């Protein structure tokens, strides 16, 4: 069995002029113009002629990245509905989660661009309050690295797997870290405008949470792996809430990759500007084939990659059914009351999944009439495996 995961990179992946080859096609150019209009940012200009310092700015970098992923995905999958049966899961690193959510049809492309515009502006404003930054710590003993980060009052803002943790905090704290680096570790300051995914971004969370309340969402058409904890999320409201909260919380890409491993991923395709996440995957997911989609002349090869790895998704998403899926790999424990019920209330607990790390409650976010239990108590389940099929009823729809 093959499992394809499509990933979208986060801030820092952009490079000057990376959109030039894409914009040579008038169809691509028209789509970028449209998304530029929605975002209120001249993405065409910034993706072709702006220098590295300009596109480093949060309010420019973030819309640029999300738009690039969305337009490239539409080029790769001209008929998106046909793609959902081939994609095993999607995931985005930091702001890439908005591109992933739009790709899974949780939100529209236009909603993603409005949200990323406001996200970038809010995070830039938060970063101006206090001089902050981020430093990548490469190598070293993991426990020593984490202890050193804590000792200096910093936050492990990105955990990208063994040998790559990003520390974030004030410039004074980062300077102290540079003077007291963990043994056998190399420090690389990152070209970002602030301490993202830390408490310094709390004001941006407040702004985005206010906006998110007005956004209509749909349940994802394919599995979405969350940065918060690597769990599979199958409720559209939860997907958006996690994306908002993640602005001030660490990115656990290490746990996302752990879930990919549990899913049995065979191929990872990265949306442009690609290379960072496939590079991390090569180091941490041995034996998994990767494809970094950087330019449109790779599209035919990318489609062949999708054909090679894109087995049907386990999620059967049709308008008449609601599916509850497992968030993690582990042992399924059925809630006795839910097992005896014929109708479940909104957010009813239906059971839990116990893994080696923790025990995760599973809810029925929409509720509805029980049509079919797809697992039995004590079964081993995998991330995203369907557990229960529901029929929407009245207010549960």
Angle at the Cα of 351 from the Cα atoms of 348 and 356, rounded to 5 degrees? 140
Q: How far apart are CA 153 and CA 194, in angstroms?
A: 16
Q: How far apart are CA 123 and CA 113, in angstroms?
A: 15
Q: Does residue 324 have a cis peptide bond before it, meaning omega lies within 30 degrees of 0?
A: no
Distance of CA 128 to the CA centre of its chain: 26
Catalytic residue among 46, 93, 152, 197: 197
Q: Which two tokens stand for residue 337?
A: 């009351």
Q: How many C-beta neighbours within 10 Å does residue 59 have?
A: 21
Rounded to 10°, the helix 58-76/109-129 angle is: 160
Of 199, 192, 187, whose CA–CA distance to 155 is shortest? 199
Does the active-site annotation cover 197?
yes
Angle at the Cα of 236 from the Cα atoms of 392 and 120, rounded to 5 degrees? 160
Does the active-site annotation cover 317?
no
Catalytic residue among 50, 94, 226, 248: 94
What SS3 class is residue 268?
strand
Phi, psi of 71, deg, nearest 5: -70, -40
Q: How far apart are CA 353 and CA 9, in angstroms?
A: 29
Contacts of 123 (CB under 8 A, 6+ apart): 58, 62, 193, 194, 196, 201, 204, 247
Contacts of 192 (CB under 8 A, 6+ apart): 11, 12, 56, 58, 133, 134
Please give the positions annotated as active site: 94, 197
């Amino acid at each position: 069995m093959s499992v394809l995961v499509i990933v979208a990179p986060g801030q820092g992946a952009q490079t000057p002029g990376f959109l030039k080859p894409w914009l040579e096609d008038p169809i691509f150019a028209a789509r970028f113009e449209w998304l530029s209009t929605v975002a209120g940012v001249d993405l065409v200009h910034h993706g072709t002629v702006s220098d590295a310092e300009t596109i480093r700015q949060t309010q420019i970098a973030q819309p640029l990245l999300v738009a690039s992923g969305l337009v490239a995905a539409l080029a790769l999958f001209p008929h998106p509905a046909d793609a959902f049966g081939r994609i095993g899961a999607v995931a985005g690193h930091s702001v890439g989660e908005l591109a992933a959510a739009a790709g899974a049809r949780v939100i529209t492309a236009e909603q993603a661009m409005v949200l990323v515009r406001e996200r970038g502006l809010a995070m830039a404003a938060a970063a101006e309050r206090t001089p902050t930054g981020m430093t990548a710590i490469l190598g070293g003993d993991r426990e020593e690295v984490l202890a050193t980060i804590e000792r200096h009052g910093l936050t492990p803002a990105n955990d990208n797997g063994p040998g790559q943790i990003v520390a974030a905090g004030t410039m004074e704290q980062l300077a102290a870290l540079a003077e007291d680096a963990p043994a056998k570790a190399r420090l690389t300051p990152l070209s970002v405008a602030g301490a993202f995914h830390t408490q310094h971004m709390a004001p941006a969370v407040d702004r985005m949470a206010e906006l998110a309340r007005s956004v209509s969402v749909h349940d994802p058409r394919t599995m979405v792996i969350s940065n918060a904890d690597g769990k599979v999320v199958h409720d559209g409201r939860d997907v958006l809430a996690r994306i908002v909260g993640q602005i001030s919380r660490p990115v656990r890409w290490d746990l996302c990759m752990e879930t990919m491993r549990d899913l049995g991923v065979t191929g990872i395709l990265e949306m442009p500007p690609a290379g960072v996440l496939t590079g991390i995957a090569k180091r941490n997911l041995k034996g998994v084939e990767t494809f970094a989609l950087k330019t449109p002349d790779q599209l035919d090869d990318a489609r062949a990659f999708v054909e090679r790895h894109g087995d049907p998704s386990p999620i059967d998403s049709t308008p008449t059914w609601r599916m509850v899926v497992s968030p993690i790999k582990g042992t399924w424990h059925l809630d006795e009351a839910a097992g005896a019920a014929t109708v479940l209330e909104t957010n009813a607990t239906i059971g839990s999944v116990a893994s080696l790390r923790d025990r995760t409650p599973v809810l029925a976010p929409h509720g509805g009439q029980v049509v079919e239990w797809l697992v039995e108590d004590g079964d081993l389940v995998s991330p995203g495996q369907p557990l229960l099929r529901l029929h929407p009823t009245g207010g549960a729809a």
